[in-house]
A and B are shown apart, each in its own frame.
Chain A
């Protein structure tokens, strides 16, 4: 039942290779506007799979996919029996990018996988994985509430935790209450 981690990583890489062209453009320089931008803390889109030390990070595989690779990554992890842990965003305002982070755990094996992608902050659109994991429905609605990320193909992208008429996204770094 349990697939060794290097095999999992290799299969994942093979699966993504067909779907993901490696992202080439390096992130722009962070703007120095005085706001906390988190510059330097974020890994860029590189189409890479890294094995990381669990005791230091809290997960085993760190996978960066292109914007188009999100659904195929979710489908691969679904085939391997992973369960959806959470979906969330990180606002990298200095680089004018929005990071979408997908956490997965395995109900029968000790693996933790993180998949992440970067989307432009001005047009934060990424495909929904609610068809693969129905549980993503709520997590994506929450990420839309908090960050304004638009999950295309989502069946019901309405506010979940915020009021139904909310037009603001409180976890954006430039949010003014």
Chain B
């Protein structure tokens, strides 16, 4: 028996996560995650700036999924104010959110396969992701930390270049997904590393509050876009990929299928994109939210992201709580990694798709 420290600086931990492992040879007796190395106290920052000034903070919590995080924050403020963005803004929010979901899953795909010892897929995945980043950079000015959504709409409209680019991307990406299926998913080495390994039950997901591809890889069709519908998702036709096996392969398959579903959503939203303004007309210049507490949840790339705000009627938040999916998804690692071989635990950790700033906030 010996203690093994994985991280905080280790390529397989995707950022600065430390896992304190008690090993019995190659087998894990106990693996305790030790987060907090990049804790920035975003929740305290919320208490010393106005509602609008806090918006850029939310895009820096999970920097791979920034659209979804800003969506939840503008959503909760709009809910408190009773503000409704115009339809064109809602459709553009859905298009950009789903593009962001694909770009986030592509980072996961490359990094996950890198964990498992396959280097080449990373180059392909980042090549595809680059096209999304270019598209989003054109309209938002940022490549990762988007601050594009505003209370009541968007900061600016999309142009024809973006619409055409997004249509071309959908046409480009579909054959790429088929290629990944043939080259990667059906690969026997990948199957041997993932099938039947790193089991997570639906009951464990419920007890730990794990969401996103983790709970959907354990056979539960829980997706915030369905159960707490927001924006114009109810008007669009898409499936929730669910795999019941609960192993690392199931979580892998959920994300791969999700990218295809996101393409479907983008295609429909582009076809239906209405004309009109992208900003509500009645947004007050100085925001004072009615006293009380409000919640708003979205389906981010890693699962359920919920913002809970408390207002005392002032221009500055009284309390901002960020409930992040990576935090809950990582919390079940100690229980589910017990007894695994070390390389299998690395595969399990990678299949959770963690973003450490999202755990630490």
Rounded to whole angstroms, the CA-CA distance of A171 and B318 in the bound complex is 10
B328 lies within 8 A of chain A by Cβ: yes
CB of B151, distance to nearest CB on chain A (Å): 16
Interface pair A107/B215, CB less than 8 Å apart: yes
Interface pair B331/A101, CB less than 8 Å apart: no
Interface pair B207/A41, CB less than 8 Å apart: no
Number of residue pairs A-B, CB distance < 8 angstroms: 125
Rounded to whole angstroms, the CA-CA distance of A81 and B206 in the bound complex is 8
CB of B156, distance to nearest CB on chain A (Å): 28
Interface pair B39/A162, CB less than 8 Å apart: yes
B354 lies within 8 A of chain A by Cβ: no
Stretch at the interface among B107-115, B243-251, B308-316: B308-316
Contact (A88, B308) CB under 8 Å given A55-B79, A107-B215, A134-B335: yes
Partner of B328, one of A55, A82, A114, A135: A135
Contact (A58, B297) CB under 8 Å given A103-B308, A133-B207, A170-B44: yes
CB of A144, distance to nearest CB on chain B (Å): 13
Contact (A161, B361) CB under 8 Å given A86-B308, A88-B308: yes
CB of B69, distance to nearest CB on chain A (Å): 15
Interface pair B202/A36, CB less than 8 Å apart: no
A105 lies within 8 A of chain B by Cβ: yes
Chain B interface category by residue count: 35 or more
A160 lies within 8 A of chain B by Cβ: yes
- Tell me whether chain A's interface is mostly helix, strand or loop, or mixed: loop
Partner of B36, one of A37, A57, A107, A159: A159
Interface pair A135/B331, CB less than 8 Å apart: yes
Rounded to whole angstroms, the CA-CA distance of A171 and B41 in the bound complex is 9
Partner of B310, one of A38, A55, A103, A161: A38
CB of B217, distance to nearest CB on chain A (Å): 13
B321 lies within 8 A of chain A by Cβ: yes
Interface pair B202/A134, CB less than 8 Å apart: no
Contact (A162, B36) CB under 8 Å given A36-B318, A83-B205, A83-B206: yes
Binding site for A on B (CB under 8 A): 35-36, 39, 41, 43-44, 47, 76, 79, 82, 202, 205-210, 215, 220, 222, 227-228, 291-297, 304, 306, 308, 310-314, 316, 318-319, 321, 323, 327-328, 331-332, 335, 360-361
